[in-house]
Amino acid sequence: MDFDKDYTLNTVRFDSRNSFYIFEGFSASKLEYNGKGVWTLLKVTTNDTWANTTGTFDYPLGTNKWFVNSPSFKGKVKINLNPCDPATDFNCNSGECVPYDDRYERSTDRVAIMSPFIIESANN
């Protein structure tokens, strides 16, 4: 299943009090927040759910455990969502971006994941 590697953040409002967020990919996928602590990764053409994550975060940035239920795989994976530029930044597990020149060599709170993609998956 193909997914976008770049997303833009949009807000969908139901009324003056209720809204939710969507990270929209350019053609194949989107991330939706339901307002109740669940983010879902969907395939745009079919609106099929590929994965979801729950937590106390406003945005699913950084490395989080996602529960995948697709035809080809069922289980937990770590997916890292980040706004980092892979040409200039390390991508930390927290979702922060650290310029290559400013990276922390021995820091345990900023573990760098080098990836050319905005979504990175690791089966852990």
* 2 in a structural domain: no
* Average pLDDT rounded to a whole number, residues 54-79: 83
Please check the confidence at residue 114 and state whether its pLDDT lies above 50: no
Please check the confidence at residue 96 and state whether its pLDDT lies above 70: yes
* 1 in a structural domain: no
* pLDDT classification of 67: cutoffs 50, 70, 90: very high
* 18 in a structural domain: yes
**Per-range mean pLDDT, top range of 17-21, 56-60, 77-81:** 77-81
Least confident of 6-15, 49-58, 102-111, 114-123: 114-123
Please check the confidence at residue 116 and state whether its pLDDT lies above 80: no
* 39 in a structural domain: yes
Pairing of strands 38-43, 29-33: antiparallel
Distance CA 67, CA 124 (A): 12
**Which residue shows structure tokens 């069922």?**
74
Which residue range(s) make up the domain with 52? 7-122
pLDDT for 2 equals 72
- Our count of domains for the chain comes to 1
pLDDT for 22 equals 84
Please check the confidence at residue 113 and state whether its pLDDT lies above 50: no
3-state secondary structure of 51: strand
